Structure 1
Amino acid sequence: MRAANGTDYAEFQNEILSFYREHGRALPWRQTSDPYAILVSEFMLQQTQTQRVIPKYARWLEEFPTVRALADAPFTQVLRYWVGLGYNRRARYLHECAKKIVREFDGAVPSNPAALRTLPGIGAYTAAAVAAFAYDKPTIFIETNIRAVFIHFFFSYREEVSDKEIAPLVRASLYEEDPRTWYYALMDYGAALKKRRDNPNRQSKHYVKQSQFKGSLRQARGAIIRALIAQPLQTHDELAANSCADTAVQTALFNRALEALLREGFVAKFEHLYTLAPNFKDDAPSAK
């Protein structure tokens, strides 16, 4: 294939697709064309390692096999099956997303990226990815592994490479006969690149080193959620003891995390007891 600028991308496409035929990963969300299952995988894979997602993904689909099943579930149950993936806002967005799909799209995940972007928690990347993977639409998007591939092949001696420079190359080299397979191939090639050499994304203008999880606010937030799933109603001291014992986080960090969860509506206070929210008045057992 020759682009308008005269560049022939056939060799590039052949290398990527040949690698995928020999080394492509057989991930569970690649074995289905169910748009809902693919939507779930996209939410789970945001900022979370693939190997952590695989078992959670399988259990999630057993518990919530359809959009309607997820939409009808109480949020406390949704959180219970999300624990371990981190960034609990994504669980809330996915739950609200399912409700809106049932309410406005009769339970069918939209195929149009513009319609997908009207759903909670879905931005340009997720909308384009779901359209490509669920409906094989030739959308254009960039994520970390795709970015690594294009920097490796086209900007190997550059620093501060922007996604605005990469996007036209993604468009020009798109394997339009099978966008779904093409993007999976790019992602797997990029994942392999980062294992065998320095991460090409360090040359990206958008590169941010991920902060350490241990001792972080994210760790404390997760500990509080786990503690409240195990025991729905707890006093401040009980919740602090259970959460800090789980993670060895400092009391000050626990308090910051609890304040944030209350402010964001993940945790609610009922008289002197803390519990998961929303709908805790309906779902939680009565205080004794």
Structure 2
Amino acid sequence: MARAPRRDADGGGLGVSPSDLDAFRALVLERGRELYRDLPWRRTRDPYEIWISEVMLQQTQTTRVDGRWQRWLERFPTVAALATAGPAEVLEEWQGLGYNRRALALHRAARAICERGGALSADARALTALPGIGPATAAGILAFAFDLHAVYLETNVRAVFLHELFPGAEGVSDRALLPLVDATCPADASDPSDDPRTWYYALLDYGAYLKRTVPNPSRRSSGHTRQSRFEGSHRQKRAELLRVLLAHREDGPAGVDFGTICAELASEEEKAGRSALSAPEVRALLDELSAEGFCRSENGAWHV
């Protein structure tokens, strides 16, 4: 068995004994074998393909990503293909996945990767230096693409640690969990039945099962927040405005004028039973999106 790293013989201040950690690992691996999900992005070790899956899966159900991930790779099969695409193409393909900033970050990161040789690094520091890649995404790339030891703490992983090692505890911080995640991840890929990739798949699948069968353990995390309502929110209005702009991509150099944008947004809001946005509100949204690189104004018209 590929052993997890140990801080010292008595657990190194982890708050869990080595024997308990061993029992925890054995349980998770067993449940992982029972609950394994044959998801399409698990059939690849390509760092680019895994990176895209990791970003798509953030706060998004696997059922929504399955199909969209494949379609993305058909359109942008490599880092270079993504880097050379236009921002509007990338945003268009991302529609429906939410959090449009992630699409722009993917595009910017792809360009940065190509400037540095065209391949994703197997170094955590190099990965997190790229736009939109945080510690969890970097750890996912390291574990799933390169089978390297990494500290991968995301919602399903968090749920398992809270359920098994902190039963009943409230307000558990990630600071308390991260050393345990580090200590339980195998140090290498010498054992194909217990390597970093297999270990985190087991955690993810067991965590997904727990969320279906018991009250969500993640709610006992100190960082847990209930996701705000999307419909009618500022985020929803930004997304709707971007969809209006993308729908006019074929208008060519002429772009779309401000009056048309206001009218089409008003129509969408009224269909949803909401009041139309005022002209100043639309202008403020356009300025906000423009400042973030989603769109631009030229000769009195707007373009993506």
Fold similarity call, TM over 0.5: yes
Matched, 1:126 2:148: no
Alignment partner, residue 201 of structure 1 = 218
Q: Deviations over 1:93-145 (max 9, x none)?
A: 111111111111x2111111111122111122211221111100011121111
1:154-233 aligned at under 5 Å gives the runs 154-176=165-187, 177=191, 178-232=195-249, 233=255
Give the distance between the partners of 1:33 and 1:164, measured in 2 at CA.
Answer: 30
Alignment partner, residue 279 of structure 1 = none
Give the distance between the partners of 1:257 and 1:216, measured in 2 at CA.
Answer: 12
Alignment partner, residue 238 of structure 1 = 260
1:100 to 112, 118, 125: 112
Matched, 1:37 2:54: no
Per-residue deviation, 1:213: 1.0
How many residues align? The count is 275
Per-residue deviation, 1:26: 1.5
Letter of the 2:58 partner, please give it.
Q
> Which consecutive unaligned segments of at least 5 residues does structure 2 have?
12-16, 250-254
Give the distance between the partners of 2:18 and 2:155, measured in 1 at CA.
Answer: 24
Contact 1:13–1:175 (8 Å) recurs in 2:
no
Give the distance between the partners of 2:169 and 2:91, measured in 1 at CA.
Answer: 43
Q: Deviations over 1:235-257 (max 9, x none)?
A: 22311232343353541565553
Letter of the 1:230 partner, please give it.
A
Distance 1:130 1:162, change over 3 A: same
Identical residues among aligned pairs (%): 45
Letter of the 1:155 partner, please give it.
F
> Which consecutive unaligned segments of at least 5 residues does structure 1 have?
277-288
Letter of the 2:262 partner, please give it.
A
Task: Compute the TM-score of the two structures, normalised by the length of structure 1.
Answer: 0.89
Letter of the 1:27 partner, please give it.
L
1:1-288 aligned at under 5 Å gives the runs 3=6, 4=9, 5=11, 6-8=17-19, 9-104=21-116, 106-176=117-187, 177=191, 178-232=195-249, 233-247=255-269, 248=272, 250=275, 251-252=277-278, 254-276=282-304
